[in-house]
């Protein structure tokens, strides 16, 4: 696989509790092959650990996995400060409906949420939404808030098959490579990036999950 130009130095990839996080091992390999010189770390919410093993992520990445739980750290650790200051790009992929709402509202109740609300790094978010979510004015309000927030890149959702209904609906998370490209374009100042829904593609994964 051809190496790509390095636009960032330190990337943190955050997996939340959407079913698509099960594909994280694939994306770890993609990042390693495409950007071997970029430092990479990985974080999982507690719900994400239901769909992908922290041990598998650690073995494939060669790094300890950050678990988004205050109980995972000793009293002297300040994990949110370390993460907020370390990364120059944070990619939340996939981002559940619960995560999108909390991030948009400024909630800071876990180490990772504190880091995301305080970091100077660019934050890319690829929502993975359940059927019907895009029809909710509340959800649309959260998405609009993230689109307008400085330092945040919101990827458009794509058609994906619901694990519950089996139907193909808009709400799937954009692939990680596309989220990365959107962040690179944002960094370079490309106008209008991320505003169009991606064609008629069907996502490689499925929608479903928790938080």
DSSP state of 48: G
Give dist(CA 78, CA 211) in Å, integer. Answer: 23
Give dist(CA 86, CA 180) in Å, integer. Answer: 18
DSSP state of 37: T
What are the respective helix, strand and coil percentages of the chain, to the nearest 5?
40, 20, 40
Positions of the chain with pLDDT lower than 70, given as ranges: 1-6, 72-80, 190-211
- Where do the domains of the chain lie? 10-207
Residue 200, pLDDT score: 39
* CATH T-level fold of 10-207: Rossmann fold (3.40.50)
């Amino acid at each position: 696989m051809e190496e790509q130009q390095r636009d960032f130095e330190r990337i943190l990839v955050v997996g939340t509790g959407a079913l698509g996080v099960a594909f994280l091992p694939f994306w770890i390999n993609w990042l390693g092959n495409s950007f071997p010189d970029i430092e990479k770390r990985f974080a999982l919410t507690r719900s994400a650990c239901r769909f992908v093993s922290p041990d598998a992520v650690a073995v494939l990445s060669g790094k300890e996995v950050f678990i988004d739980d205050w109980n995972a750290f000793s009293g002297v650790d300040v994990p949110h400060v370390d993460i907020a200051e370390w990364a120059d790009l944070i990619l939340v992929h996939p981002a559940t409906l619960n995560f999108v709402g909390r991030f948009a509202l400024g909630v800071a109740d876990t180490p990772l949420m504190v880091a995301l609300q305080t970091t100077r790094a660019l934050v890319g978010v690829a929502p993975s939404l359940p059927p019907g979510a895009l029809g909710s004015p509340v959800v649309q309000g959260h998405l609009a808030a993230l689109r307008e927030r400085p330092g945040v890149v919101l990827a458009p959702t794509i058609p994906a098959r619901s694990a519950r209904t089996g139907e193909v609906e808009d709400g799937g998370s954009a692939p990680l490579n596309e989220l990365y490209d959107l962040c690179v374009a944002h960094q370079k100042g490309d106008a209008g990036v991320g505003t169009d829904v991606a064609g008629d593609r069907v996502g490689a994964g499925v929608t479903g999950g928790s938080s």
